[in-house]
Structure 1
Amino acid sequence: MFGDLWRFDTDQFQGLDWFRQMMDEFFPETGAADIRSVPRGSFPMINVGSTDDAIRVYVFAPGLTASDLDVSVQNNVLTLRGKREVPTPKSESEERRPYFRRERFSGEFARSIALPDGLDADRAEARFHNGVFEVLLPKREELKPRRIEIKAA
């Protein structure tokens, strides 16, 4: 009897999708992108993890090379700076084509990430492989967890 109350026609929600898309295009710099913790358009995307020995930062920057990214640490803040170029059009007709949607970021960028206290920035390392940069920030020895042996009394 009430089964039809739970069925929704998808056409009812198309207007909402259109409205959300129009708002995204009108206000491109506001709001968070999906479930991400950074504003839409932030580049590069990062993951930060912690182990007993170090903090590891993974920087996802496809299309960049090791020379395109500058990584520095000062006062427990990791700063990533660089520039991502726009691919050049192959022909004059391709250059004049209108874009319906353009999501690839190009130009200069900078991201800063606050890090916890107790890192040894002098021993920091950075590696690069297939568009993923890994920044390893070792923890100082005195802050690493130590196993305490229990002696029988």
Structure 2
Amino acid sequence: MFGDLRRFDTDWAPGTDWFRRFFDEMWPDPGAADIRSVPRGSFPMINVGRTDDAVRVYVFAPGLTPEALDISLQDNVLTVGGQRSETAAEDEASAQRSHFRRERQQGAFSRSLALPEGLDVERAEARFHNGVCEVVLPKREELKPRRIEIKAS
């Protein structure tokens, strides 16, 4: 029923979907809302989840190396930043042609997100594998759920 959050899909005129997509691509609405929680083009994309033991943050940074990322934590705010530049092959090819569409952004980037209270930031760890950086922030021991044994009377 809803193609996106901006308008209703209309099935009354078959064959006009390409026409709407054509205009959307030619003149995009820069402030358009979509189902993501961040604006289009935000980099890097981030997933946050929690378990009984920790909060896990997944930073999706394809094409970057661990050295290109800068992750910091201060006052329960996690900041991911860095620099993304063209590869030598892309840079050489870009100089020889004009682009009709360019969706990969270059330059400095930074994303910040607030984390819940009660994390043991001294034991935080980060691992990078295949363009995904996983940041594990363990919960303090006193905040972890405990099982209480029931004794028969």
Distance change in 2, residues 1:108/1:91 (3 Å): closer
Which residue does 1:134 correspond to in 2? 134
In the aligned structure 1, how far is the partner of 2:67 from the partner of 2:46? 18
In the aligned structure 1, how far is the partner of 2:87 from the partner of 2:111? 22
User: Does the CA-based 8 Å contact 1:89-1:95 persist in structure 2?
Assistant: no
The answer to whether structure 1 residue 31 and structure 2 residue 36 are counterparts is no
In the aligned structure 2, how far is the partner of 1:87 from the partner of 1:94? 10
Report % sequence identity.
Answer: 62
* Unpaired runs of at least 5, structure 2: 1-10
Which residue does 2:17 correspond to in 1? 13
Q: How many residues align?
A: 143
Distance change in 2, residues 1:148/1:125 (3 Å): same
Which residue does 2:7 correspond to in 1? none
In the aligned structure 1, how far is the partner of 2:60 from the partner of 2:82? 13
Report the TM-score when normalising by structure 2: 0.84
Q: CA deviation at 1:89?
A: 4.5
Amino acid at match of 2:20: L
Larger Rg: 1
The answer to whether structure 1 residue 22 and structure 2 residue 7 are counterparts is no
Distance change in 2, residues 1:37/1:149 (3 Å): same
Report the TM-score when normalising by structure 1: 0.84
Q: How is 1:1-153 mapped onto 2 (pairs within 5 angstroms)?
A: 8-10=13-15, 12-24=16-28, 27-28=29-30, 30-32=31-33, 34-89=34-89, 94-153=94-153
Distance change in 2, residues 1:120/1:131 (3 Å): same
In the aligned structure 2, how far is the partner of 1:90 from the partner of 1:73? 33
Amino acid at match of 2:61: A
Amino acid at match of 2:14: D
Q: CA deviation at 1:69?
A: 0.6
In the aligned structure 2, how far is the partner of 1:92 from the partner of 1:65? 21
In the aligned structure 2, how far is the partner of 1:152 from the partner of 1:131? 53
Distance change in 2, residues 1:146/1:127 (3 Å): same
Deviation by residue 1:26-47 (Cα, 9 ceiling, x = unmatched): x54x234x42211011000111
Deviation by residue 1:44-99 (Cα, 9 ceiling, x = unmatched): 01111100000001111011111111111111111001001112347867513110
Distance change in 2, residues 1:94/1:137 (3 Å): closer
SS at match of 2:101: coil
